[in-house]
Structures are given as C-alpha cells and as structure tokens.
Amino acid sequence: MTAPRQVLQNATYLITRRCFGRMFLLRPSALENAVFEYALAVKAKEYGILLHAYCVLSNHWHCVLTDPHGRLPEFQRDLGSTIARALNAAHGRWESFWAPGSYSAVALQTADDVFDKLAYVLANPVVAGLMRRAAEWPGLWSAPSRIGAEACLVKRPDHYFRKGGPTPPSAKLELTCPAGFDSVEELRERLTKELVRREQQAALDLAKEGRSFMGVRRVCAQNPFARPALGEPRRGLKPRVASRDKWKRMEAIGRLQSFLAEYREAWRAFTRGARGAVFPEGTYWMRVTCCVACCSSA
C-alpha cells in the first residue's frame, strides 16, 4: 500500500508531473498552451491555490505553489484530469495521459528552499538544453516579473470547453510572492540574477559536452507521441521534503516519520472497529472518504 500523503495547510511545494511514457504530449503549441493555462487558472482559483512560478516542458511540468487550505490533492486531480481529457481529445487518443502513480509534491521548508526551487523551475528549459535563454521557451513559462504583478486574464479555449458549459469564459491567472521574502521587488531581482547565472552555467556545461541548444524550431517540430532517445534513471529517490539546511531537512523528515507512525496506529485501531480513532494532522484520504477525526494544530 502506498504511504499516506500528509497534506498540511499553508505548505509550499515543488510540484512535478510527467507524461505517460515520457511522450511529448505537452509539446508547445498554441492549443497546448491555451488549454493548460486556462485549466491552471480555473483550478487554482477553485481550490484557493497560490501559484508562484511554473514551467510546462514537452513531457512534464513543474510548479512552485502554496496550498493555504490543504486541498492540493483535489487541485492536482481536477487539473490533471481536465488537461488529460482536453489534450487527449486534441491528439485523437484515449490512453493514459500522465505517467502511472501520483504527482511529486516536495514540501519546501524555508524561504531559501523556495527560492532555490523557483530558480530551478524557471531555469528548466535551459538546463535541459532546450533554449539558450529561459524566456525564449515557446511553452508556458512564468517570468520573474510576473510574481506579484497584476493578474492576467486567460480566455477559455474554443477547443474542448463547451460554450455555456460549467467552465467560465475567462479566468484570472495570478502569481503571488511566497511567504518569507522581504518584498516582491527583492525576490524578482534576486530571481532574475540567479536565472542569468544558471543560464550561463548551462551554456558552459553544454559547450563542454560539445552540444548546442535545441532551439524553438526543433522543439515545436517534435512529434507529440515521440519520447527522448536516452532513458532516465529508474528507481531513484522520491523525496517528500527538501531543504538545503541539513538540520531543517532532518527535522522535517522526523515530523514526517512521526506522522506516518501515528497514522499507522490510528489506521490499525480504525480497521479493528474503533471508528473514533483520531488520525494525525495532515491526514487527507481518510478524512475526506471516511470523515475520521484528525488532530488540530491549534
């Protein structure tokens, strides 16, 4: 059985989700961009998710977000389902759109960790050898200048979404400043400088390998049903927490271990008939499906 996921209010995460078989089903195009951006705007508003940065590559996407109300699983479920159904319809396919298993959600412990993952997300097209500058990426990519700026209005695509249906004709997509930073201006400036540094380092690394950046034309010419020629490492680590501070990381791992131990104890009691068993704070699945009682942080 998969270990239970702890879902806490106001947690900030690095989210990653990959396409089935690593296929290029999210390859940048006007349609893919429009569908993904609209779904992201609608579902973020519906579940109260605070978006900070995102990047949608051809076969996976990343996002840094904060979940004020502990509704990340619902957000991910409906966002993934909407995108999968809409783009499968566009591609004329009906198989699984996303890779087997759940999305990756790595809880970030400090403002430094959030900053590091913001830079990681935005530098992804460059580090992956796709673009010389991240801003050149033809897919969805959120510039640092959009953090804390006025929300942009995203119109409902003509494809898939029915006029007069339950989805709104437009939705606002806003990027907010994460907690822990002195000002949004300071965050934007630091992030822009760090992005330039990572772009320069990626160019040096690529040159040492005798390779060049793919470029917009080759990226957009990809067959959505193709996949990278080189395989990816299998059975790698799947962290649930991340921190560059060793002690903060150990502390977070300890809290997660305590949660799992308390969850198992409550689960055993529940399965033996103790319907009043109290589950630890952050319990999600048992709370929404069986209405079990959970500890409060108050």
Tens digits of residue pLDDT in 109-156: 999 999 999 999 999 999 999 999 999 999 999 999 999 999 999 999
Within 10 Å of residue 278's Cβ, how many Cβ atoms?
17
In this prediction the pTM is: 0.93
At residue 101 the predicted structure's pLDDT band, cuts being 50, 70 and 90, is confident
Tell me the CB-side half-sphere exposure of residue 2, using CA atoms within 13 A.
8
DSSP-derived letter for residue 136 is G
Q: Which residues have C-beta within 8 Å of that of residue 142, sequence separation ≥ 6?
A: 51, 53, 54, 55, 122, 175
Average pLDDT value for residue range 278-291: 93
Read off the pLDDT of residues 64-91 as tens digits, 9 standing for 90 and up. 999 999 999 999 999 999 999 999 999 9
pLDDT at 289 over 80: yes
Average pLDDT value for residue range 45-62: 98
Dist CA 191 CA 177 (whole Å):
12
User: Domain ranges in the chain?
Assistant: 11-244, 248-294
| Residue in 136, 173, 139 with CA at minimum distance from that of residue 38 | 173
Question: Which CATH fold would you assign to the domain 11-244?
Answer: Alpha-Beta Plaits (3.30.70)
Q: Which residues have C-beta within 8 Å of that of residue 256, sequence separation ≥ 6?
A: 6, 240, 241
DSSP-derived letter for residue 223 is -
Query: Are 70 and 284 in contact, with CB atoms under 8 Å apart?
Result: yes
pLDDT at 236 over 70: no
Distance between terminal CA atoms of the chain?
Answer: 31
pLDDT at 1 over 90: no
| Residue in 135, 142, 139 with CA at minimum distance from that of residue 26 | 139
Within 10 Å of residue 157's Cβ, how many Cβ atoms?
19
Within 10 Å of residue 255's Cβ, how many Cβ atoms?
17
pLDDT at 235 over 70: no
